[in-house]
């Protein structure tokens, strides 16, 4: 089995809109800092505020091409080729994501994650309660949504299931995405939707775990090294060398996106520790089959 932390060839992947926003924002920040210009001054130049500059530089908003052009002028970028290259990237970064048809049910804090997930070359996730969304069957996903949205009409539940299944299409492109899942054994014993749904879900996990670009490990009940109080964690790594890893932490009514090295490093260490202490991926199919017998 290849190293699951390896990511596809950087030169073979084209960044999507979310990655492009981050790339453009990073370049604008570097230009501003190199000229020792404050966010306040930059914001004033584009008829905005320092918080608008912060959102642009963090890749958290779309770009008005006039704003980008004015900032490039402020930062002394006079070369037409350099200006046009960044303006083209900014225009491409404004392209809508495939999830626009589902915006009525997507919280603002989760929309950013959909873009990051779409553009990531490597997705590492640790789950303690449910099977990760990218590996859920339709029936399992439906049961999760019914449990969490008891008052919603069936039509809206089905729309949520459709969105979750649509996200899984990234796994049909093994040349551009890798998924490495570390599951707490408790998530596999929790009966979501009943015995039949769980058996089908476990069989699906066995099939997915055998794919060359999907790695699944199970942290057994006997493992004593799990850090207390740590909930679900996802780390996204991108093919573009200019982009840092992003840690995604989801809460009941929101999420955190960590990008600073000092914040990301502890979660990378946690993932590495869990992957070493858990049984190897080759043992996962048999572990899943043994749990299946109890369903």
Kindly state the average pLDDT of the residues 254-282. Answer: 91
My answer on whether 163 and 256 are in the same domain is: yes
Q: Which of 31, 119, 25 is nearest to 63 (CA)?
A: 25
My answer on whether 210 and 229 are in the same domain is: yes
Q: Exposure string (b/e) for 85-114, b if CB count within 10 Å is 16 or more?
A: ebbebbebbeeebebeebeeebeeeebbbb
> Does residue 112 have a pLDDT over 70?
yes
Confidence of residue 109 (pLDDT cuts 50, 70, 90): confident
My answer on whether 109 and 221 are in the same domain is: yes
> Does residue 119 have a pLDDT over 70?
yes
Q: What is the C-alpha to C-alpha distance for residues 223 and 76, in angstroms, rounded to an integer?
A: 57
Of residues 290 and 259, more confidently modeled: 290
| pLDDT single digits (tens) 144-189 | 999 988 889 999 999 999 999 999 999 987 777 899 999 999 999 9
pLDDT of the residue at 242: 79
Kindly state the average pLDDT of the residues 204-217. Answer: 95
pLDDT of the residue at 20: 87
Mean model confidence pLDDT for the chain: 89
Kindly state the average pLDDT of the residues 88-99. Answer: 89
Quote the tokens at residue 221: 């009940």
Strand order in the sheet with 254-258: 214-219, 178-184, 122-127, 233-237, 246-251, 254-258
> Does residue 111 have a pLDDT over 70?
yes
Quote the tokens at residue 35: 């000229």
Of residues 11 and 205, more confidently modeled: 205
Angle at 165 between CA 159 and CA 170, to 5 degrees: 140
Final residue in a domain of this structure, among 94, 126, 157: 94
My answer on whether 53 and 120 are in the same domain is: no
Q: What is the C-alpha to C-alpha distance for residues 37 and 290, in angstroms, rounded to an integer?
A: 61
Final residue in a domain of this structure, among 94, 113, 146: 94
pLDDT of the residue at 11: 47
Q: Is residue 203 part of a domain?
A: yes
My answer on whether 158 and 198 are in the same domain is: yes
Kindly state the average pLDDT of the residues 229-254. Answer: 86
**Structural contact between residues 4 and 272, judged by C-beta atoms closer than 8 angstroms:** no
pLDDT of the residue at 229: 54
| pLDDT single digits (tens) 7-40 | 655 444 566 788 888 889 989 999 999 999 999 9
Is the alpha carbon torsion for 6, 10, 12, 16 positive or negative? positive
My answer on whether 47 and 164 are in the same domain is: no
Domain with 58, as residue range(s), is 18-94
Percent of the chain residues past pLDDT 90, beyond the cut: 64
> Does residue 100 have a pLDDT over 80?
yes
CATH number of the domain to which 26 belongs: 1.10.260.40
Q: Is residue 13 part of a domain?
A: no
Percent of the chain residues past pLDDT 70, beyond the cut: 92
Q: What is the C-alpha to C-alpha distance for residues 79 and 278, in angstroms, rounded to an integer?
A: 54
**Structural contact between residues 288 and 259, judged by C-beta atoms closer than 8 angstroms:** no
pLDDT of the residue at 227: 53
CATH number of the domain to which 223 belongs: 3.30.870
Final residue in a domain of this structure, among 64, 94, 124: 94
Kindly state the average pLDDT of the residues 276-293. Answer: 93
């Amino acid at each position: 089995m290849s190293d699951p932390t390896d990511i596809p060839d950087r030169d073979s992947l084209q960044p999507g809109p979310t990655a492009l926003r981050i790339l453009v924002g990073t370049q604008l920040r570097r230009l501003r800092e190199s000229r020792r210009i404050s966010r306040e001054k930059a914001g004033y130049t584009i008829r905005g505020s320092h918080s608008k500059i912060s959102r642009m530089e963090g890749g958290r908003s779309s770009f008005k091409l006039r704003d980008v052009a004015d900032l490039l002028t402020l930062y002394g970028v006079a070369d037409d080729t350099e200006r046009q290259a960044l303006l083209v990237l900014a225009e491409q970064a404004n392209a809508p994501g495939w999830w626009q048809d589902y915006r009525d049910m997507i919280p603002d804090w989760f929309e950013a994650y959909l873009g990051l997930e779409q553009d990531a070359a490597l997705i590492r996730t640790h789950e303690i309660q449910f099977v990760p969304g990218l590996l859920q069957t339709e029936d399992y996903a439906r049961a999760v949504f019914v449990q969490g949205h008891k008052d919603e009409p069936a039509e809206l539940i089905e729309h949520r299931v459709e969105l979750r299944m649509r996200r899984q299409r990234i796994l049909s492109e093994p040349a551009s995405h890798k998924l490495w899942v570390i599951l707490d054994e408790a998530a596999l014993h929790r009966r979501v939707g009943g015995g039949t749904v769980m058996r089908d879900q476990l069989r699906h996990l066995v099939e997915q775990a055998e794919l060359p670009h999907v790695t699944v490990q199970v942290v057994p009940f006997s493992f004593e090294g799990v850090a207390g109080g740590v909930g679900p964690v996802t780390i996204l790594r991108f093919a573009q060398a200019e982009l840092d890893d992003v840690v995604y932490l989801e809460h009941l009514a929101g999420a955190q996106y960590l990008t600073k090295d000092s914040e990301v490093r502890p979660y990378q260490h946690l993932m590495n520790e869990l992957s070493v202490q858990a049984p190897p991926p080759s043992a996962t199919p048999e572990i899943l089959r043994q749990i299946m017998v109890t369903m």
